[in-house]
Every structure is written in C-alpha cells, then in structure tokens.
Amino acid sequence: MNKLATFVLAASAAIAGSAFAQSSAPTAPPYAPLTTDIKANSPYSAYVQDARGIIVRNPFGLCWRTGYWTPADAVPGCDLPLCVAPETLVDGKCVAPAPVVMAPPPAAPAPAPAPAPAPVVTSEKVSYSADAFFDFDKSVLKPAGKASLDDLTSKLQGINLEVIIAVGHTDSIGTDAYNQKLSIRRAEAVKAYLQSKGIEANRVYTEGKGEKQPVADNKSTAGRAKNRRVEIEVVGTRTK
C-alpha cells in the first residue's frame, strides 16, 4: 500500500513539472465553454493537446499550458477572449468594428425650370376713316386722327413689334395719278406721327393704293366715304 501511494505521488509530481493549468480567468469574457473544442496552434503549441490537436482543459474549463508557455503563445478561448463576429481580437481585447457611416443620399435634383411660354404671333388690322384723320384733299393729321393713333400705340405695350403697315386709300374723285400720290402722302403722315411716339422708322412700312381697292361703291356719297380710309396692320409676337 505504501508503494502504491509513493507511485501516485511521483506521477503527479512529474505531470506538475511539465504542465500546469491556468491560475486565473481568461483576460476578457466570454470564456470558452467546456463543450467547445479549442484547436491548438500548429505545428507548435505551448498547450497540452490530445491526439486530435485539441487543447486539454481541466474540469473548470481552464487550458493546460506546457512549461515553456509565454503570453505570446496565448490562444483565444484559453488566455484570450473568444470574439464574436463582427468583433475582432485587437491587443488582447475584442473590438467592435467602427460603425459604418452611411453617406447621405444625394440631394434630389432641382426641378427643371418651367419652359418659357412660346411667343404667339399676333396680327391686327384696323381701318380708320380718312375723313376722321384728314381734311378734304389734305394729308395733315387732324386732332381726331392723332387721338386714334395714340390709342393704337398704347395697345402696342407687351407686343414684340415686328412691323406696322400703313396703307392709304382714296375714292374715285380725281385722276388716278393724283389719288395715288394723295394716298401715299396720307400713309406717310401716319408713319411720321407714329415715329414721334417712339416707334422706330424701320418698323413702319407705308403704301398708297389710291382708288384701286374700293370697299364700297364710289357712285354714292356713303360709298365714297367708306373708300376714303387708312388701314393700319400691326404684326408682332406676344407672350402668353
């Protein structure tokens, strides 16, 4: 019996000389549970391992180190914490990755400006009685004629003016040549007055038709009065 006790003590001393269990808990949690196999480093390991290369642990879950173990030989689960993804082991500690900074979403593009309204071409023709504009056989504008042209120019506001066409007409009294010249002089009188109101000279076109384009019968007084006229046409564009 004494011999058996001596043998057991000697065997225990031999094991204690070559390997010893951790004397303290791992440096940081979590601990490796006993049901978790901890693989020894290969080809060299400073831990006691079985035939499978698994580190041997005591009943308390502590790993058995060899006599030449140093902190540099520490492995996760034994002397280093087991990190759970996405954490990684950094300087003996489990470190969570830096939070991913999401770039702000790109700003919504500014709405396209509304297209400018397309200009609308406008053309207006007005016919004035020559008797209201001029005395008989004259080409000098009367006050009533000037008032009518003032009203016309006020309506040009907001119009991108292209051209004003002034056409003089007469009745059939007198020679054709004389009436032609009279119709031209009256159209030119209208142009001159429009220029005095700020209309550019190159925007006003004049023409005399004499007695060539009657709108009524020259045989009656009323018909001849209708034929003595000045027609003014305004051409331009207006924004809606």
Q: Which among 30, 47, 31, 28 has a CA at the least distance from the CA of 39? A: 47
Q: Is 183 helix (H, G, I), strand (E, B) or coil?
A: helix
Calculate ∠ Cα 46-49-55, nearest 5°. Answer: 85
What are the tokens at 188? 């030119």
56: amino acid identity, one letter: V
CA–CA gap between residue 132 and residue 137 (Å, rounded)? 13
pLDDT value at residue 19: 53
pLDDT value at residue 126: 79
CA–CA gap between residue 212 and residue 168 (Å, rounded)? 11
What are the residue ranges in the chain where pLDDT is below 70?
Answer: 1-31, 239-240
CA–CA gap between residue 153 and residue 131 (Å, rounded)? 20
Q: φ, ψ for residue 130 (rounded to 5)?
A: -65, -30
CA–CA gap between residue 87 and residue 96 (Å, rounded)? 4
pLDDT value at residue 207: 92
The answer to whether the beta carbons of residues 169 and 231 sit under 8 Å apart is: yes
Q: Which among 160, 97, 169, 157 has a CA at the least distance from the CA of 133? A: 169
Convert the pLDDT of each residue in 113-152 to its tens digit. Answer: 888 777 777 777 778 888 888 888 889 998 998 999 999 8
CA–CA gap between residue 142 and residue 219 (Å, rounded)? 27
* Residue tagged 């500014």 (tokens): 110
Q: Which among 143, 164, 162 has a CA at the least distance from the CA of 153? A: 164
The answer to whether the beta carbons of residues 228 and 138 sit under 8 Å apart is: no
Q: Is 210 helix (H, G, I), strand (E, B) or coil?
A: strand
